[in-house]
Amino acid sequence: MISMAEKLDPWASDIRVKDYGKLEKEFGIEPIETVLAKIPGPLIYMRRGMMFGHRDFGRILDAMAKKKPFVMMTGLMPSGKFHLGHKMLADEIVYLQEHGAKVYLCVADIEAYNTRGISLEEGRKTALEEYLLNYIALGLKPKNCDFYFQSSRSADAEKANAYYRLVGMCSKKVTFSEMTAVYGELTPGKIMSVFTQVADILHPQLPEFEGKLPVVVPVGADQDPHIRLTRDIASRFSEFNFIPPAATYNKFLPGLKGGKMSSSDPLSYIALSDDPKTAKHKIMKYAFSGGGNSVEEHRRHGGNTEVDVSYQMLYNMFEPDDRKMKKIKDDYTSGRMLSGELKQILADKLESFLSSHQKAREKARKEVAKFL
């Protein structure tokens, strides 16, 4: 049954989940630890806790291990700049593609139009310039990748019809009070977006696409209401024999000043198109520090890694080597390493990542057409 408990609002502009453990207890998201040992060559996000939970991911790992077909399906909201928070999900998509997934990547341009007033034209431009280019530069390949727009599913009429038919049919599988229990206050635009997203997630299993097979949906924690609803709707379709979609859940990467990394505040994020020198400057100047108020105090009490944004970025993204990470932690918490020195480590890594990424991004321009 659909839970009536806490409301996670997938359309909120300031999503901040205070207690990820609560999502596990209340909604039945499983801790990632239950499958971690079975994940081949896990990404840093999987090992260090940014990916904190899942539903049925074991089924996907089985398919992976047995080299059976499976789909990775997810969607992107075409608004704002592509920043480090988005990179996390992009790396996962690439990881799953490299491990055998057929990729279905949806541009949620109808959702952006309905819930954020973004024109289809603007959404398309952002999707290609910001998202697709960065995905390609991060390793996404055109082979085994179906990149599409909610507003224009496919040039193949049979496929397009099957997708839009499913959007229409989903509305029959849920009551209005179930929907308000999941989402709170709704608008016609949100309702349309919900059914479109449910169809996004379920349509790979239609006979016109892959047929019945395991599908995993990697998302940010705020998207769980959609996943829960989709899994319920999947089980109510007598017309199709859907496997309930699996999901993996990411925490939000903290913004530079603490709080959220938000596209609406340029000083909260590092965009992948930020000039490397500017990015370095943003870290040195704005990244929230857990260091002492004076050098003397810092030497005595050390830094607080829990709140230090530079530390968090190294830990969650830029320093995969466990031994180096431990040394940084020891040095910083003991006060041997100063806040400025910690920032410098991150700033250098970031600068070199951004310069090579931006070269890859320029090369990626030639590849875009292969995805359309």
Q: Which residues bind ligand TRP (CB under 6 A)?
A: 10, 73-75, 77, 106, 108, 111, 197, 200-201, 217, 219, 223
Task: List, in order, residues 6 or more apart from 246 with CB less than 8 Å away.
Answer: 54, 55, 56, 57, 59, 60, 214, 215, 216, 217
Nearest distance, CB of residue 203 and ligand TRP, angstroms? 10
* Gap between the terminal Cα atoms of the chain: 39
Between 222 and 319, name the residue whose CB sits nearer to ligand TRP.
222
- 275, two tokens: 């000039």
d(CA 73, CA 315): 27
Q: What residues contact 25, with CB distance under 8 A and at least 6 apart? A: none
- Shortest approach of ligand TRP to residue 82 CB, angstroms? 13
Question: Of the candidates 253, 248, 315, which has an alpha carbon nearest to the alpha carbon of residue 83?
Answer: 253
Least CB distance to ligand TRP at residue 115 (A)? 8
Which of 146, 147, 151, 142 is closest to 123 using CA atoms? 151
Nearer to ligand TRP, 79 or 316 (CB): 79
Q: How far is the CB of 206 from ligand TRP (least distance, A)?
A: 15
CB of 73 to ligand TRP, least distance (A): 6
- 165 vs 336 by CB, closer to ligand TRP: 165
Helix (H, G, I), strand (E, B) or coil at 71: strand
Q: Could you tell me the smallest distance in angstroms from the CB atom of residue 76 to ligand TRP?
A: 6
Q: CB-wise, 220 or 254, nearer to ligand TRP?
A: 220
Q: Work out whether strand 215-220 and strand 246-250 pair parallel, antiparallel, or are unpaired.
A: parallel
Q: What's the burial of 232, exposed, middle or buried (CB within 10 Å: 0-12/13-18/19+)?
A: middle
**Closer of 116 and 336 to ligand TRP (Cβ):** 116
Residue whose CB is nearest to ligand TRP in the complex, by number: 75
Give the number of other CB atoms < 10 A from CB of residue 352: 12
Output the six-digit token pair for 237. Answer: 């379709």
- Supply the minimum distance, in Å, between the C-beta of residue 113 and ligand TRP: 12
Q: Give 39 or 201: the residue with its C-beta nearer to ligand TRP.
A: 201
What residue spans of the chain are helical by DSSP H?
20-27, 44-47, 57-65, 84-98, 109-116, 120-126, 133-137, 157-170, 176-183, 188-202, 224-236, 276-286, 295-301, 309-313, 322-334, 339-364
Angle at the Cα of 112 from the Cα atoms of 28 and 183, rounded to 5 degrees: 35
Q: 104 vs 318, which CB is nearer to ligand TRP?
A: 104
DSSP codes of every residue in 233-270: HHHH-SSS-PPPPEEEEEPPPBPTTSSB--TT-TTT--
Nearer to ligand TRP by Cβ, of 108 and 317: the residue is: 108
Query: What is the C-alpha separation between 71 and 209, in angstroms, rounded?
Result: 11
10/292 with CB nearer ligand TRP: 10
Q: Report in angstroms how near the CB of residue 25 gets to ligand TRP at its nearest.
A: 23
Q: How far is the CB of 31 from ligand TRP (least distance, A)?
A: 21
Q: Which CB atom, from 94 or from 217, has the smaller least distance to ligand TRP?
A: 217
Token pair listed for 101: 């997934």
Provide, rounded to whole angstroms, the least separation between the CB of residue 201 and ligand TRP. Answer: 5
Residue 167, judged by CB atoms within 10 A of its CB (0-12, 13-18, 19+), counts as: buried
